[in-house]
């Protein structure tokens, strides 16, 4: 049985990358932090995702001590955006922003292991294999009811409670409602090999059967393809040759030939967003606040910016759960969150139409962004740093 403190300055529920980053950065700022995670400390993370991190996100993780030089990641220097069956494209370069790279791709389990190692050497108290059964906000403190693996139950109080996981705890709080939009689509994830090297270039392709991203991943590429539920299920079970042929048809020969594809994982897609991100002394960040479509790879980066924004909002605050402090946090994140959610949702709507006139207008728009340097730099800046950050 773990030793559970009775009270902490800040309690964070959810030890994924967003919750762990918030915990590490708050501890660096001198806060007493307890992090609660349902997973066992040494339990393998079974998650097929390769995360596309912006360079800003990578730097924030490095500041928290969770990005050692030895971390196996593949940098992104260029992002190429195009549409199937129509002209126009936008190419974003790291030189547009004067950055060493635009971003990096890393396995989810690798990043969580690096964060766990950083937590182990920090002042953060981590309660592994512990579940939160109830969360409440009172006038002067928040409470969580915990249950450990051996069945032991306990209550922990804090001046601020941070929910950083996508469960139902947030919706049990007064005034909190979650808007859900089911895209009726799934994401197909797979590692693919190409006959030509990627040269650290990522691709966002709006294909007729659904948008997809190809991310540089070691010497290969990681595919994230949005398809209908039926198509996703079919591709998961299809012969490799069928998947390669469909991908070749949708992408063309910018990378030569697709020569091999690995096992496919499938995830259903939906937009979920809270009507507000705080209730009393409880604040929601990351997946607790919003989850979105993977197009443009913005959801995870938005969650990490939530964590950094919370640390900034709490700087110098005597009471981290004070209403004025949480209002300041909510206001600071509103523009970025709503802009990114609106942008990703709008892209799905915009590229869903296949009429020749619609395709032509999209092509004009992409070509204009590519040709006008200030517009291209602004677009790249929003992808890397967020909006209004």
pLDDT reading at 1 higher than 60: no
Mean pLDDT of 35-58: 90
Residue 315: which CATH number?
Answer: 3.50.50.60
DSSP 352: T
Q: What is the residue-wise DSSP string for 273-337?
A: EES-SEETTEEE-GGGTEE---GGG-HHHHHHHHHHHHHHHHTT-SSTT-HHHHHHHHHHHHHHH
Percent of the chain with pLDDT over 70: 87
The count of other CB atoms within 10 Å of the CB of residue 178 is 17
Residue found under tokens 């092509």: 363
Tens digits of per-residue pLDDT, 142-193? Answer: 999 999 988 889 999 999 999 998 778 999 999 999 999 898 999 999 999 9
Answer whether residue 111 shows pLDDT above 80: yes
Tell me the CATH number at 260.
3.30.9.10
Q: Are 253 and 304 within one domain?
A: no
With 70 as the cut, is the pLDDT of residue 359 above it?
A: no
Of 269, 293, 325, which residue is a domain's last? 269
Between residues 196 and 86, the one the model is more confident about: 196
Q: Is 193 part of any domain? A: yes
DSSP character string of 94-134? GGGTT-S-SEEEEEHHHHHHHHHHHHHTSS-EEETTEEEEE
- pLDDT digit string, tens, across residues 117-138: 999 999 999 999 999 999 999 9
Closest CA to 196 of 239, 152, 248, 160: 248
For residue 227, what are the domain limits? 183-269
| Confidence band of 89 (pLDDT split at 50, 70, 90) | confident
Between 375 and 389, the higher pLDDT residue: 375
Give the per-residue pLDDT at 49.
83
206 and 304 together in one domain: no
Residue 302: both structure tokens together: 């938005």
Work out the pLDDT band at 363, boundaries 50, 70, 90: low
Q: Where does a domain end: 245, 269, 293?
A: 269
Q: What does the alpha-carbon distance between residue 79 and residue 73 come to, in Å, rounded to a whole number? A: 17
Residue 296 and residue 236 in one domain: no
Q: When comparing pLDDT for 82 and 107, which is higher?
A: 107
What is the count of structural domains for the chain?
2
- pLDDT tens figures, 258-294: 999 999 999 999 889 999 999 999 999 999 999 887 7
Give the mean pLDDT of the chain.
89
Q: How far apart are CA 381 and CA 92, in angstroms?
A: 10
């Amino acid at each position: 049985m773990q030793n559970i403190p009775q009270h902490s300055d800040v309690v964070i529920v959810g030890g994924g990358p967003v919750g762990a980053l918030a915990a590490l950065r708050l501890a660096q700022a001198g806060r007493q932090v307890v992090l609660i995670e349902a997973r066992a400390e040494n339990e393998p993370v079974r998650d097929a995702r390769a995360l596309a991190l912006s360079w800003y996100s990578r730097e924030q993780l490095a500041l928290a001590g969770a990005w050692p030089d030895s971390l196996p990641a593949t940098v992104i220097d260029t992002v190429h955006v195009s549409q199937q069956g129509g002209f126009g494209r936008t190419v974003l370069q790291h030189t547009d922003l004067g950055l060493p790279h635009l971003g990096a791709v890393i396995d989810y389990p690798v990043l969580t292991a690096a964060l766990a190692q950083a937590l182990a050497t920090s002042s953060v108290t981590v309660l592994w294999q512990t579940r939160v059964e109830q969360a409440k906000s009172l006038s002067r403190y928040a409470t969580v009811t915990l249950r450990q693996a051996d069945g032991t139950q306990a209550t922990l109080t804090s001046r601020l409670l941070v929910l950083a996981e996508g469960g139902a705890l947030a919706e049990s709080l007064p005034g909190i409602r979650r808007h859900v939009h089911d895209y009726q689509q799934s994401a197909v994830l797979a590692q693919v090999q190409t006959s030509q090297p990627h040269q650290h270039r990522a691709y966002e392709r709006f294909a007729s059967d659904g948008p997809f991203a190809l991310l540089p991943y070691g010497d290969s590429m990681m595919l994230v393809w949005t398809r209908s539920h039926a198509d996703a299920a079919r591709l998961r079970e299809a012969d490799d040759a069928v998947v390669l042929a469909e991908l070749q048809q949708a992408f063309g020969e910018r990378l030569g030939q697709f020569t091999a594809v690995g096992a496919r994982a499938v995830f259903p897609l939906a937009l979920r967003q809270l009507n507000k991100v705080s209730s009393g002394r409880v604040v929601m960040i990351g997946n607790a606040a919003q989850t979105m479509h993977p197009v443009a790879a913005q959801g995870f980066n938005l969650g990490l910016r939530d964590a950094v924004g919370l640390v900034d909002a709490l700087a110098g605050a005597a009471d981290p759960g004070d209403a004025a402090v949480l209002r300041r946090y909510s206001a600071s994140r509103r523009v970025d969150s709503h802009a990114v959610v609106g942008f990703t949702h709008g892209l799905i709507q915009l590229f869903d139409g296949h009429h020749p006139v619609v395709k032509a207008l999209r092509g004009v728009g992409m070509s204009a962004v590519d040709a006008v340097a200030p517009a291209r730099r602004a677009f790249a800046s929003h992808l890397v740093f967020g909006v209004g950050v």
